[in-house]
Amino acid sequence: MGQYVVRRLLQMIPVFIGATLLIFLMVNVMGDPVAGLCGDRQCDPATAARLRKEFGLDKPVGQQYLTYLANVFTGDFGTAFNGRPVTELMSSAFPVTVRLTVVAVLFEIVIGITLGVVTGLRRGRPVDTTVLLITLVVISVPTFVTGLLLQLLLGVEWGWIKPSVSTDATFDELIVPGLVLASVSLAYVTRLTRTSIAENRRSDYVRTAIAKGLPRRRVVTRHLLRNSLIPVVTFIGTDIGALMGGAIVTERIFNIHGVGYQLYQGILRQNTQTVVGFVTVLVLVFLVANLLVDLLYAVLDPRIRYA
Amino acid sequence: MLLEVRDLYVEFRTRDGVAKAVNGVGYGVDAGETLAVLGESGSGKSVTAQTIMGILDVPPGRITGGEVLFQGKDLLTLKEEERRKVRGAQMAMIFQDALSSLNPVLSVGDQLGEMFVVHRGLSRKDARARAIELMDRVRIPGAGQRVRDYPHQFSGGMRQRIMIAMALALEPALIIADEPTTALDVTVQAQVMDLLAELQREYDMGLILITHDLGVVADVADRIAVMYAGRIVESAPVHDVYKAPAHPYTRGLLDSIPRLDQKGRELYAIKGLPPNLMDIPPGCAFHPRCPMAQDVCRTDEPPLYEVSEDRGSACHFWRECLHG
Amino acid sequence: MPEPNEPEGVVAGTGAGGGMGLAASEAVTLERPSGGAERTAPQGKPRSLWSDAWRDLRGDPVFVISGLVILFLVVISLWPSVIASGNPLKCDLAKAQEGSQPGHPFGYDGQGCDVYTRTVYGARNSVAVGVCATLGVAVLGSVLGGLAGFFGGIWDSVLSRTTDIFFAIPVVLGGLVLLSVVTGSTIWPVIGFMVLLGWPQISRIARGSVITARQNDYVQAARALGASNSRLLLRHIAPNAVAPVIVVATIALGTYIALEATLSYLGVGLKPPTVSWGIDISAASPYIRNAPHALLWPSGALALTVLAFIMLGDAVRDALDPKLR
């Protein structure tokens, strides 16, 4: 197990470097990093040249990347568009997005799994058909449409929530945005759980559990659910990284000042340091979440052996 | 009589039609007695067993008639909750494939102990101690350590011993073993079968042994019930059957056992295929494959004729079969 | 347990025993409302995976309905004037945000453009982006993944690590970064971006199915008989490995259409004067209170389109691989 973790950590290094390099190149090659530094005005050539030298932008891109990476390892993510360190921006943005993601994951777990179990145990019944149809629709409607519609209905028409979230972004303000962020994954979790439950329900060990005279509730929770949830847990785990990276749309709709919002600002103002810094952290979150899922797998399924 | 099945009918409704799996089966087993139920796959022997246990999948399965009397009570009229309390505690079942029949993500100790937790209200700690005792009893070496292991960490024979231990846990009056040794290596089969027979004697349990292996039957069974197309075609004490079968199907089964003293001779096989349960032939269901079939077999369904006091045969020509 | 069937629609968790069990219950589900009867084809006729799948699909209402919707979308993408006589770019600010009226069933948007005409014309770019991106992704992904799966070794390792890298980058984010500097208003940068970030998904699928197909006995036999690599790949492996790629690509087509709209909503996808549902939804969102129709119609068209492609993909998957059901 220990060896496996070490090997996986080593494997993460090239992926981490590749992904950050890719985004670094995308940002540098496609945009002009200096353009963003003079505010909204066009930089005059002399200032631009000075800035280039100051930020090391006259060096080859490869060298710039190495310098950047070295700085990152000392905790220096550079300067954001507002002139403050990127780390400061991160410390205000990440807690908000983490809260949003937590709400979304809770929705996936509570609603997604519940619906999946209900429909999996009632395949072909009206409950099943209805829920299945709803999941298809939810998957088909893009998140930004779901978000705008919920904002219109709950925020504007019925006044149940405030249409935009305050800068504090407390958990109760994030309930509806979290649901929006979770919506598509929620539908996938429902379908995945349903398939898994329906499959395992016919398995021999469930028949054994019934033959042992266990109450139905115990058959479902202890024998059926435990086995059926293994793929679902995997999905939800890998989804965490995607949710945080995808929060950009939800945060824009509800005006949440999280990672997506700051990234969007960084891109609009072509601030290389902000964009690359945030993406670097997001990539790390994605990789670590995947590693944790793999390890969790071994805990859930004793048949998995890490050699 | 410990268990008596009377005139049981079970069918399955599928998209393609109604499959009549069990068509008026009746058999019984006493305490301490072993009844071997013999038949090809699709003969209804497993479905009957599932109906007795109350683990039939309803729907698509449907019990359309009959009684299952266990210690004098008709199980089919019991409420599900009462039925559940009978399962595992008073009658238990051993399945064919222990690897898939044991839960892969729970330790064998948990799965054995669960019987005591649910039916006897024992604490987890006490249940674990009982689980170790059980594993000792079915002669699993190092039970104390292995109790924490998972099913996939055991060999096939050891896994089937765990299934047996689970069935024995609450010392039920009746055990139904559905092809308990079919999935095992030949060398292990005998060991597991001997263990099962020994424990049955020790606890004076009734045992219904479902099998298609006549070799196993001769050693352990007291009586034989042969099933074909969801009916009992012959029911008799085991030695009578081996001496002289009273049904051509039984005869066919016996003749198709390879025998050392007839080495070199071509092996007998019953011609034709088992019947389609959605379209069972009229008259005697076996007539299309029967070497003795006459016109009457195609039209009249034979009742279970009384051959002797404790023997029956559902063949119009049981006398000819018995003496020919 | 001869208990009566529980009444339809009972909430789960009640009722003991009921549906738990072992025998294969042939429950009719949403995905496959059609029966299994058509599987009992005339005897003796040779049947391939494809002809089997086609027979299944023709009898599957999900396939028929989603197929008809898609056919309709393709027709109005090619000839939008068939059902919309107006000009999507001709707008009259004086009529901004006005509701439904004769000749203009969907009303007007914030710029006074006719929502019906714009919704009809929006189909073209959505479908074009979806189809082109899917084709690009499918070709690039199949070739890279297929070759890696076939030759294995170092190329396989390189490809696997490369796909890992692409998977680690959030898609919408990559789109924002790459497309934020594009100024033109054609659909090609968006398509290029989707191909760039989308191919790893297909390449994984293609790699897996090529590896599976490569191990088949008949491929081993052909190899032993001295078939060349290119013949093995094209003649023996590709036809058997292509089914999963088609399924995933069909479903991906729907998601690319949704992605285009999302990027357009964020302001980095298609740009005016290109007509796009995403742009219109984005433009309508500030007036959501006064003119919800300007948002709802393009949203509905978008959702219906994505739904049609996803359901088509579902149906094709069921037909090509009954085991997956």
User: How many CB atoms sit inside 10 A of residue C228's CB?
Assistant: 11
Q: Indicate the SS3 state at residue C161.
A: helix
Q: State the complex-level ipTM.
A: 0.87
- Which A residues 196-215 touch C at CB under 8 Å? 201-202, 204, 206-207, 210, 215
Q: Could you tell me which chain C residue has the CA closest to the CA of A148?
A: C285
Q: Token digits for A17?
A: 């470097």
CB-CB contact of A293 with A233 (8 Å): yes
Q: Which residues of B touch C35 (CB under 8 A)?
A: 15
Distance from CA of C17 to the nearest CA of A (A): 7
CB-CB contact of A279 with A291 (8 Å): no
Nearest to B152 among A226, A300, A303 (CB): A303
Contact A211 B93 (CB under 8 A): yes
- The pLDDT of B274-291, averaged and rounded, is 85
Please, which residues have CB within 8 angstroms of residue B7's CB and are 6 or more apart in sequence? B24, B25, B26, B65, B66, B67
Helical H segments across A202-254, by residue range: 204-211, 216-218, 226-253
Per-residue confidence at A124, pLDDT binned at 50, 70, 90? confident
Mean pLDDT, chain C, rounded, equals 75
Q: What is the DSSP string of A206-219?
A: HHHHHHTT--HHHI
Name the strands in the sheet holding B73-74, side by side, starting at the edge strand that comes first in the sequence. Answer: B17-29, B3-14, B61-70, B73-74
Contact C299 A201 (CB under 8 A): no
Q: Token digits for C196?
A: 């760039």
pLDDT at C37: 34
Decide if pLDDT at C139 tops 90: yes
Amino acid (one-letter) located at A32? D
Contact A19 C262 (CB under 8 A): no
pLDDT at A31: 59
Angle between helices A259-268 and A86-107 (to 10 degrees): 130
Peptide bond before residue B59 is cis, with ω within 30 degrees of 0: yes
CB-CB contact of C48 with C92 (8 Å): no
- B239, part of any domain: yes
CB-CB contact of A181 with A243 (8 Å): yes
B187 exposure class (CB count in 10 Å sphere: 0-12, 13-18, 19+): exposed
Q: Indicate the SS3 state at residue B6.
A: strand
* Backbone conformation region of residue C47, classed left if phi is above 0, alpha if psi is from -120 to 50, else beta: beta
pLDDT at A206: 93
d(CA B314, CA A201) in angstroms, rounded, equals 38
What distance lies between CA C88 and its chain's CA centroid?
26
Contact C303 A140 (CB under 8 A): yes
Q: Where are the beta strands (DSSP E) in B145-285?
A: 174-178, 206-211, 223-228, 231-237
> C29, C129, C264, C280: which to substitute to probe chain A, counting the most A Cβ within 10 Å?
C29
Decide if pLDDT at C169 tops 50: yes
User: Chain B residues contacting A, CB < 8 Å?
Assistant: 53, 55, 84-89, 92-93, 95, 97, 100-107, 114-115, 118-119, 150, 152, 166
Q: Could you tell me which chain C residue has the CA closest to the CA of B16?
A: C37
Is A113 near chain C, with CB under 8 Å?
no
- B134, part of any domain: no
pLDDT digit string (tens) for A95-122? 999 999 999 999 999 999 999 999 988 8
Q: Which domains are delineated in chain A?
A: 87-269 (1.10.3720.10)
Is A125 near chain C, with CB under 8 Å?
yes
pLDDT digit string (tens) for C297-324? 888 899 999 889 888 888 888 787 655 4
> B99, B101, B134: which to substitute to probe chain A, counting the most A Cβ within 10 Å?
B101
Per-residue confidence at A84, pLDDT binned at 50, 70, 90? confident
Dihedral, CA of residue A147, residue A128, residue C298 and residue A246, to nearest 10 = 40
- B156, part of any domain: no
Residue carrying the six token digits 């930089």: A43
d(CA B232, CA B247) in angstroms, rounded, equals 11
Half-sphere exposure of B71 (CA within 13 A, CB side): 9
What is the percent of chain C where pLDDT is above 90? 7
Q: Which residues of A touch C174 (CB under 8 A)?
A: 23, 26
Peptide bond before residue B60 is cis, with ω within 30 degrees of 0: yes
Instruction: Show which subunits contact A, needing at least 3 CB pairs below 8 angstroms.
Output: B, C
Angle between helices A2-30 and C171-179 (to 10 degrees): 20
d(CA C169, CA C249) in angstroms, rounded, equals 20
Q: Token digits for C186?
A: 């054609």
Q: Which residues of A touch B60 (CB under 8 A)?
A: none
- The pLDDT of C241-248, averaged and rounded, is 84
Distance from CA of B60 to the nearest CA of C (A): 6
Q: Token digits for B77?
A: 């009229």
Decide if pLDDT at C44 tops 80: no
pLDDT digit string (tens) for C278-299? 888 888 888 777 778 888 888 8
pTM for the model: 0.81
d(CA B54, CA B50) in angstroms, rounded, equals 6
- B234, part of any domain: yes
- The pLDDT of C45-61, averaged and rounded, is 72
Residue-range definition of the domain harbouring residue B215: 3-98+173-322
Q: Which residues of A touch B93 (CB under 8 A)?
A: 211
Nearest to B53 among A209, A211, A222 (CB): A211
d(CA A136, CA A139) in angstroms, rounded, equals 5
Instruction: Show which subunits contact B, needing at least 3 CB pairs below 8 angstroms.
Output: A, C
- B124, part of any domain: no
Q: Name which of A157, C289, C269, C290 is nearest C280 in CA terms.
A: C269
Amino acid (one-letter) located at A79? T
Distances B75 to B60, B80, B90, B91, B177 between C-alpha atoms, Å: 20, 10, 12, 12, 19
Contact B14 C37 (CB under 8 A): no
Q: Indicate the SS3 state at residue A19.
A: helix
Counts of helices then strands in chain A (DSSP H, E): 13, 0
Please, which residues have CB within 8 angstroms of residue C196's CB and are 6 or more apart in sequence? C178
pLDDT digit string (tens) for C181-217? 777 778 888 898 899 888 988 998 888 888 888 887 7
- B26, part of any domain: yes
Report the CATH number at residue B302: 3.40.50.300
Q: Which residues of C touch A252 (CB under 8 A)?
A: 266
Count of A–C CB contacts within 8 Å?
174
CB-CB contact of A34 with A52 (8 Å): yes
pLDDT at A32: 62
Q: Which domains are delineated in chain C?
A: 1-44 (no CATH), 49-324 (1.10.3720.10)
Q: Indicate the SS3 state at residue C192.
A: helix
- B16, part of any domain: yes
Q: Name which of A269, A271, A268, A251 is nearest A260 in CA terms.
A: A251
Distance from CA of A213 to the nearest CA of B (A): 5
Task: Quote the Cα angle for B236-B237-B242, to 5°.
Answer: 90
What distance lies between CA B113 and its chain's CA centroid?
25
Nearest to A205 among B86, B100, B114 (CB): B100
Q: Which residues of C touch A204 (CB under 8 A)?
A: 22
Q: Could you tell me which chain A residue has the CA closest to the CA of C160?
A: A15
What is the percent of chain B where pLDDT is above 90? 19
Nearest to C1 among B16, B60, B83 (CB): B83
pLDDT at B117: 92
Amino acid (one-letter) located at B22? V
Contact B62 C25 (CB under 8 A): no
CB-CB contact of A297 with A238 (8 Å): no
pLDDT at A122: 86
Nearest to B57 among C2, C16, C25 (CB): C25
d(CA A164, CA A253) in angstroms, rounded, equals 8
pLDDT digit string (tens) for B139-171? 888 888 899 999 999 988 889 889 999 998 888
Contact C170 A245 (CB under 8 A): yes
Amino acid (one-letter) located at A264? Y
Give the max Cα distance, chain A.
84
CB-CB contact of B235 with B306 (8 Å): no
- B42, part of any domain: yes
What total of structural domains would you count in chain B? 1
Nearest to B63 among C2, C22, C36 (CB): C2
Q: Could you tell me which chain A residue has the CA closest to the CA of B52?
A: A211
- The pLDDT of A245-257, averaged and rounded, is 87
Sign for the pseudo-dihedral over CA of A222, A224, A229, A230: positive
Contact A227 B103 (CB under 8 A): yes
Contact A249 C180 (CB under 8 A): no
Contact C310 A241 (CB under 8 A): no
pLDDT at A190: 93
Contact A202 C22 (CB under 8 A): yes
Count of B–C CB contacts within 8 Å?
51
Q: Which residues of B touch A223 (CB under 8 A)?
A: 103, 106
pLDDT at C41: 37
d(CA B307, CA C323) in angstroms, rounded, equals 50
